[in-house]
Structure 1
Amino acid sequence: MSKYIFFLLPVLGLLTGCSSSDTETTDTPPNLILIIADDMAWDDSGAYGHPSIRTPNIDRLAREGMRFDQAFLTTSSCSPSRASIITGTYPHQTDAEQLHWPVPADKLTFVEKLKAHGYWTALAGKYHLGDALKDRFDLIAAVGTSGFVMNADGPAEEAPEKKEDGSGCENWLATFQQRPADQPFFLWLAAVDPHRPYTSDIVAEPHRAADVIVPPYLPDVDTVREDFARYYDEIHRMDDYIGQLMDALEKSGEADNTVVLFISDNGRPFPRDKTTLYDGGIKTPWIVRWPAAVKAGTTTASMVSAVDIAPTFLSLAGAEVPPVFEGVDFSPVLHDPSATVRDWIYAEDHWHDFEDYTRAVRDQDYKYIRNFYPDLPNTPPADALRSPTFAKMLQMRAAGTLNDAQLACFREPRPEEELYDTRKDPHELVNLAGDPAFAETLAQLRTKMEAIRQETGDILPARRTPDEFTRYSGQPLPVRKRPRPSKAEMELSSTE
């Protein structure tokens, strides 16, 4: 599930082409606001060229800032993605790589580093990180669970009053307004939109079926178009909250010293998107607005990864970047869109409702995917299984009217290896892994993946985790316990 990010950058460092670590700390360090959408595809906004989704405020961010066209997440699963972002490490390093696993208390996050550096830190909206990290924030106004506020030097208090419209954005503005006047601030603002389930009439002018662009791996039929239209409505509702926040930021007089970075936690909750390592799952919108230094209306093809957020925030704040963080500081790109900070990204898929263990390496041209459990189909998440789209796909499968691309989520066994030319084949429909003409590329990316796995301690678990739902109906199964493997089991699996 995805989120979006606003954050401030030190003006002097970027205007001179240097990172904040190369310059003296200014008297007014930048504020940082991180906004995360929940389950939004990278190109489902006007800012990324969609002709009919109404996203005036996201589009405004792009007009007034920089749009990243090669931005990626480390996973396409809700809580593991957030755990990776806040710890600056890959999901398998967080000990929270499976859905709903809480981040352990011993994990370092960039939030407490900002706090130690003098920042007031707050979270509003969807939490989904686990109880152990609550003390990293000075204030938390959560939705979707019992709301509360936590003060650093006092007991927990009641959260601000919520409208409870289901967006997850109800407390964003109130949280912004509680920032202290004498401290720089960091806000983690997390929407629930556009996460399923969807309902009708949540916006004044609902999107129509005719507004929908259906990707080729889904059937272009009325049922699917209506499902997409409700998904578009939730994006539009979240966009309105972004506009309210941006208006408040402008009125506060702090907009020029604020960098806005907008992202999602994973792709849309449809088959072959969320919980997959195709670009529909791991590619994310990524927009940075910073009037003081970022030229309005610019775009960049520089690759960035979600693990880069933690070191970048700390660098821009003038704080020390711990060596445990796996990411790189991408702030040079904000000054020079042609700058390169990384040549590849790494992504992974773990248990999310259903067992899986898949890895991907992607550069600017090609993506290599390794399916370690090829006997399992590429099953969508349970909420997508219960969607009108998947119900229609089941009917069409029985009738024999799905094409080969649309049958991909049913196919078992899966190929053990997949290779895609992401420039010529952006929907990743033609697997080149068996093509002799691409043998060298396949070997290079296979070697790169193995090196990353060894360097980061990414090892195959000793045992598989049981599915929590049936794979075609999405109905709950009786066995749900998912204990973490013991240290002995992990050591055993690393030797196998």
Structure 2
Amino acid sequence: MKALHLVVIVLITCIQTMAEKPNIILFVSDDHGLDALGCYGNPVIKTPNMDQLAADGVRFTRAYCTSASCAASRSVILTGKFGHATGSYGHVHDYHHFSTFDTVKSLPVMLSEAGYHTAQIGKYHVAPESVYKFDVRYKCDPRSTIEMAETVTPTIRQDKPFFLYFCPDDPHRGDPFTPDPWNAPNSFGNKSEPYPGETIVKYDPKDVIVPEFLPDTQECREELAQYYQSISRIDQGLGKLLKILDDSGKTDNTVIIYISDNGIAFPGAKTTVYEPGIKLPCIVKDPRTDFQGLKNRSMISWVDLTPTILDFAGVTVEKSRFHGRSFLPILGKKNSKSWNTVYAAHNFHELTMYYPMRVIREDNMKLIWNIAYGLKYPFASDLWAASTWQSVYRNKGEYFGHRKVQDYLFRPEFELYDLKSDPEESRNLADDPAYANQLETMKKKIQAFQIETNDPWQIIWGNKSNMQGTGVNL
């Protein structure tokens, strides 16, 4: 009888412990840059639900993905490791076929083992499924964000603590990527008729804000207007998700993180390691705290997301397993001096887009190492076909935004920028004698980062043979 009583106590304790664990929603939009949220300073875009999330939580102003390419970035988000260490070098779908090593243990697997119900909806774009295994994978139109929110209602209403990986396709460019005629704007997933439950929000091209890195042309403005419309659809889906959460009585115990996988899908951002490609929105709401409306300037990276989410969930894992670290301890701080450095690493986008780059940003100084600097910079197929690029290319324009077309296509081995005085990354200081010591110091830090993260591209420094491998299967 005593033994039975003890078992009951243990079961009750376990149930209580699980009930105290927070639910976690990781909302990952597709190609949403820092340029198009009201809470990040855009007065034109209508994002009331994102803005409210920021008002209720913490808005990071220096958050970075590690690779401005969808699949590569998502692998980092879900593993806490850089893609070059997991085999996630670029896109996974179709003929690209870059898959994560099967020895890697991902975030949903670790959370499932810790008692969480794990669910995924929308863009998956990682492989293999055995590594990125969720308890439930919902099927739904990934452009219909309101419908996505309604589809995941069973996960929100069930009793176990849940981790929901919510990934709309918006505002990724829509198919077909090649417009007809050539100067027609891409749809960014927008349709003439609303998606279920959607209120279409249209924007006048003359009202959009053209970032400095883009050309202020009619074609660009028309595409930005479509991009804005797609983001407003995401925002409505977020609002629906929050309402379902509230109606289910789960709001007060659900952590919500809103991010994007990489920057806006325009040349000069997506697939590059310039700031518009990798500096992204990150809003974190933890209703169990009083961190409301805070702006956090600490530098965080998507490689930090897995350890942070595990920390939220109370799951203890050896820190050495990850290349990132949990930013939960500094969530409520305005700035943490020990969080002043991030690294980025891009290898491929599509299989035919080989252009490896390594980056360190330390405070306001940023070094880009263009490993394949002898090659012409490659275009993603959708960005090449975009009317924004074609309007410059067909007219043989000298400039694309603030950067010369020639400088965009042919890059030096090293690019060094002082982002405090040059936020647009226009003045390369790598050949300036006054910055010679700074350059060498940051180059050594990139080398150390590569060694620490087992980066195969470290071989380029002096053709080191220790990364060659034996070529023998044992």
Distance 1:109 1:165 in 2: 23
Distance 2:400 2:72 in 1: 32
Q: Work out whether residues 42 and 284 of structure 1, in 8 Å CA contact, stay in contact via their aligned partners in 2.
A: yes
- Shift, 1:408, TM fit: 5.1
Aligned residue number for residue 116 of structure 2: 119
Confirm or deny that 1:282 pairs with 2:282. Answer: no
Structure 2 counterpart of 1:55, from 47, 54, 57: 47
Q: Work out whether residues 125 and 169 of structure 1, in 8 Å CA contact, stay in contact via their aligned partners in 2.
A: no
Please list, as runs of the form range in 1=range in 2, the aligned pairs for 1:231-246 lying within 5 A after superposition. Answer: 231-246=227-242
Distance 2:336 2:467 in 1: 43
Aligned residue number for residue 405 of structure 2: 407
| Paired AA for residue 154 in structure 2 | Q
Distance 2:254 2:447 in 1: 39
| Paired AA for residue 119 in structure 2 | A
Confirm or deny that 1:269 pairs with 2:265. Answer: yes
Aligned residue number for residue 364 of structure 2: 365
- Shift, 1:462, TM fit: 8.7
| Paired AA for residue 202 in structure 2 | P
Aligned residue number for residue 90 of structure 1: 82
Distance 1:63 1:307 in 2: 25
Residue 130 of structure 2 aligns to a residue in which SS?
A: helix
Aligned residue number for residue 422 of structure 1: 419
Please list, as runs of the form range in 1=range in 2, the aligned pairs for 1:10-89 lying within 5 A after superposition. Answer: 27-89=19-81
Query: CA 1:406/1:222 → structure 2, altered by over 3 Å: closer, same or farther?
Result: farther
Distance 1:171 1:449 in 2: 41
Aligned residue number for residue 457 of structure 1: 454
Comparing 175-184 and 92-101, the one that deviates more: 175-184
* TM-score normalised by length of structure 2: 0.84
- Shift, 1:252, TM fit: 1.8
Distance 2:76 2:101 in 1: 12
Q: Work out whether residues 126 and 132 of structure 2, in 8 Å CA contact, stay in contact via their aligned partners in 1.
A: no
Aligned residue number for residue 374 of structure 2: 375
Confirm or deny that 1:178 pairs with 2:175. Answer: no
1:90-109 deviation per Cα after TM superposition (whole angstroms, max 9, x unaligned):
01011111222232332111
Task: Give the count of matched residue pairs.
Answer: 425
Aligned residue number for residue 17 of structure 1: none
| Paired AA for residue 360 in structure 2 | V
Please list, as runs of the form range in 1=range in 2, the aligned pairs for 1:165-244 lying within 5 A after superposition. Answer: 166-167=143-144, 170-179=147-156, 181-197=158-174, 198-199=186-187, 201=192, 204-244=200-240
- Shift, 1:275, TM fit: 0.6
Aligned residue number for residue 297 of structure 1: 293
Q: Work out whether residues 125 and 170 of structure 1, in 8 Å CA contact, stay in contact via their aligned partners in 2.
A: no
Query: CA 1:298/1:230 → structure 2, altered by over 3 Å: closer, same or farther?
Result: same
Q: Work out whether residues 303 and 340 of structure 1, in 8 Å CA contact, stay in contact via their aligned partners in 2.
A: no
Aligned residue number for residue 388 of structure 1: 387
Query: CA 1:408/1:173 → structure 2, altered by over 3 Å: closer, same or farther?
Result: farther
- Shift, 1:454, TM fit: 1.1
- Shift, 1:168, TM fit: 5.9
Distance 1:401 1:336 in 2: 41
| Paired AA for residue 349 in structure 1 | H
Query: CA 1:291/1:399 → structure 2, altered by over 3 Å: closer, same or farther?
Result: closer
- Shift, 1:449, TM fit: 0.5
Comparing 112-121 and 252-261, the one that deviates more: 252-261
Comparing 418-427 and 169-178, the one that deviates more: 169-178
Distance 1:315 1:366 in 2: 30
Distance 1:27 1:399 in 2: 61
* TM-score normalised by length of structure 1: 0.80
Query: CA 1:492/1:438 → structure 2, altered by over 3 Å: closer, same or farther?
Result: farther
Structure 1 alignment gaps of length 5 or more: 1-23, 142-146, 148-161, 464-486
1:230-258 deviation per Cα after TM superposition (whole angstroms, max 9, x unaligned):
11111111111001001111222221211
